[in-house]
A and B are shown apart, each in its own frame.
Chain A
Amino acid sequence: MASHIRTSLMLLGVRNACAIANTERCISGVLIPVRHLSRMRTRTGNKGGFWIDRLAPPLFDRTAIERKLDENPDSRFDKVAPARIFQSSSAFSDPLVTKFTNMMMLEGMKDKAEEMMGRALKAVKTIQLDRYHAADESTKPTIILNPIKIFHKAVENCKPVLALAPLKRGGVTYQVPVSILEKKAEWTSMKWLILAGRDHDQKTDKFRNALARELIAASNNEGKVIKRKFDLHKQCEANKAYAHYRWSK
């Protein structure tokens, strides 16, 4: 029973599933849920770093858990950190897709956002398959059909390398080109893609179709979002003279 629950939780990608799987082995056959976070904080206190750093990282692969236990049988007594919301044991989960889904979610409607993301990926696949069947034999192998790969490529292509920061110097606000962190660039790229998807004819078109078209275009370095990125880069180039304001008072 316990193993069945564990399997089902793991397969469904439920949060803490593997943490449960780890602690479950403490007492054979008895399922012990991971303690509540606030409880954990009280127990560990604030000595010796942040509490979560002193916990074992959660594992998401059954073989990895078994390997760890074989190597160190005492590790079954480890306190395991709770899994993050984007971490999943599913074979089909993708952290970036999850992040994107969360970003496009409105008013907490996660089910709706996931459905829309799924439909957009389906639309990507449909468009690419149409191209695939229309193409001649020599170009067929070059067409990417996997929608997740296209999504990753699109996000990668849309990342800006610079950003403009409004800095006030001498009573005047300048748009100063600044370097951008990898994480921020990724966020910007995804935000632009979402905005491009929302920018469609409300009567005749759908978000999923607009997003799918934009993803495919961006994966080929074309489209509205890529243009937006180039526009930003151009503006940064034009404001090159202000760059030193970043360091001066």
Chain B
Amino acid sequence: MPSSIFSHCRQVGRLRKLCSTAIRPPHGPVSRPFSMTAAMQQKPQQMLRSQRVIASELVQKAEEKSEPSSSSAASTSEEVPMELPRVQARRTSQQNPADHTMDVEGFFYTVPPAVVEPLFGWTRPVSNTRGAAGATDMRSRTLQYLHEQGLTLREYALMIRQPALEVMDYIKKSDLSLPAVRYVLYGRHGSGKTASLAHILHFFAANDWLIVHMPRVTYYNRHYKEVADSTFHPGRIDLPVCSVEWLQHFLSQNSAILKDPSRKLLTHKTYVWSKREETPAGSPLLDIVELGIKRGRYANDAIGVLMRELKLLAPETGQKVGVVVDVVNALFSPTLIPRVNKTTVPAEVLSLYCHFRSIVRNDWTNGAIVTSVDRRNVTGEVHDHDGGGNYLPRYLLRGPGWEWMDPCIPVHVKDYQDKELTNCLDYYMETRWLQHENAGTQKGRDELKFVSGMNPGVLRSLVSRL
């Protein structure tokens, strides 16, 4: 039948287009009729894995002479875009991060949709415009690119990488009756520190840990929203609106644990908020959180109470507490919040930072503290004179921060390895995020690899336009 013959030609033509860059001999275009099988036998090692898969599929299809119905529909319209090679990224079906081992390093796993919203708070649509709803939401700022990508690609997939596996392995093997161990993730900008923290956060959530999560400390440099003097501690500065937001974030991450009476998370002493408002000793921790959310004026103090109680409750009740703080060095760097006398608020005075400094102290047990250090948007004179290259924890934490965080376990988040980069590109192609024809060729991939310098963040920005 003519239509089936046509479909055969069309498929081989597509195949030739696919394989031309990979298989074509160095001396120009092939003069003789293109022989698929011969070319594959000659230089199969030069083809990409994905191309080999599709090539074999297409050869099978061509031999089987696919149904004329589909081909006739395709042949009539010129609008049909050429399909990219159908690549399958390497994935694992293990959705509990505790099950992840080095065997699946570099693989993707999908965060279950039911977990995504309460854990990361990606409810609102991402807005590209400044000042619109969602743009200044603290929760949507957590891994914003993943949020965007998830909305576009209809799934939230994280790559399993060595630093997160290492930290999770340490946590699983450590003795929690000893003071909480602090892990500090460090690495180049865009190397995946926050993504690793997200993986660890999911590990905590999936294994019944209570989570204290600060998405990004530097967020408050710009988005402080409202500033008030502290009533409880004269001289300190409160951020009421931000603190309410954080408490809502805390509640959504831990609502199951906080609402479970069998956990016996009860306060140790009576907290007097004002003449008429007080929380008696022995009331559930949830009351403190809800009071802070309802009464913005006391939200900062409620966070302070929460941190104090969690430190006491963790060893008493056996409830494990996982602390995740992104950009922990900002807790020790001056903020950009202006004061009346035209100075900025130092970090020691901001009560929100004080409470988080207290929880990253290792003076409590039955918990783990995972932090990261980053140089982006962190203020301080030291960052202006180092040429932009130093990302080591000792350097970024500086004197006071290092004294506070010592001892800690530094974990280096490196750039991609070859297999990770390949799998990442495969993932982008599988989810149709990478559309360029040359993205599947060896030349294109080599270029992406070279120009990105194997840095995940740079690769992401390169791929976003292709």
Contact = CB atoms under 8 A, between A and B. Distances in A.
Interface of A: 7-8, 11-12, 63-64, 66-67, 70, 90-92, 117-119, 121-123, 125-126, 129-130, 132-133, 141-149, 203-206, 208-209
Q: Chain B: interface secondary structure? A: loop
18 contacts: A67-B27, A70-B27, A91-B438, A91-B441, A91-B444, A121-B466, A129-B433, A142-B79, A144-B81, A145-B432, A145-B435, A146-B435, A146-B437, A147-B435, A148-B435, A148-B436, A204-B129, A206-B128
Nearest to A209: B128
- 9 closest Cβ pairs, A-B complex: A118-B465, A146-B435, A91-B438, A91-B444, A121-B465, A122-B464, A63-B26, A144-B81, A11-B450
Contact of B465 (A7, A12, A117, A129): A117
B447 A90 contact: yes
A66 B28 CA distance: 10
Contact of B129 (A64, A132, A206): A206
B28 A67 contact: yes
Contacts, number: 85
Contacts of B80: 141-142
Interface residues of B, number: 34
Contact of B464 (A12, A118, A141, A209): A118
A90 B152 CA distance: 27
Interface in B427-441: 432-433, 435-438, 441
Given A122-B465, A205-B129, A67 B26 contact: yes
Contacts of A149: 81
Contact of A132 (B74, B432, B444, B446): B432
B451 interface: yes
Contacts of B26: 63, 66-67
Contacts of A70: 27
Nearest to A97: B465
Taking each of B132, B436, B465, which has the highest tally of chain A beta carbons within 10 Å of its own beta carbon?
B465
Given A8-B450, A91-B444, A129-B433, A204 B132 contact: yes
A90 to B, nearest CB: 6
Contacts of B132: 204
B131 interface: yes
Nearest to A132: B432
Interface in B129-188: 129, 131-132, 148, 152-154
A206 B438 CA distance: 29
A8 B453 CA distance: 11
Given A132-B432, A144-B79, 9 more contacts: A8-B450, A11-B447, A92-B438, A118-B465, A121-B464, A125-B433, A142-B81, A147-B465, A205-B129
A215 to B, nearest CB: 13
B77 interface: yes
Contacts of A12: 451
B65 interface: no
Contacts of B152: 126, 129-130
A142 B77 contact: yes
Nearest to B432: A145
Q: Which of B26, B461, B466 has the largest number of chain A CB atoms within 10 A?
A: B466
Nearest to B445: A91
Contact of B436 (A92, A117, A118): A92
Nearest to B436: A92
B49 interface: no
A123 B129 CA distance: 12
Nearest to A201: B129
A185 to B, nearest CB: 22
B158 to A, nearest CB: 20
A171 to B, nearest CB: 51
Nearest to A63: B26
Nearest to A148: B436
A165 to B, nearest CB: 35
Contacts of B451: 11-12
A130 B151 CA distance: 9
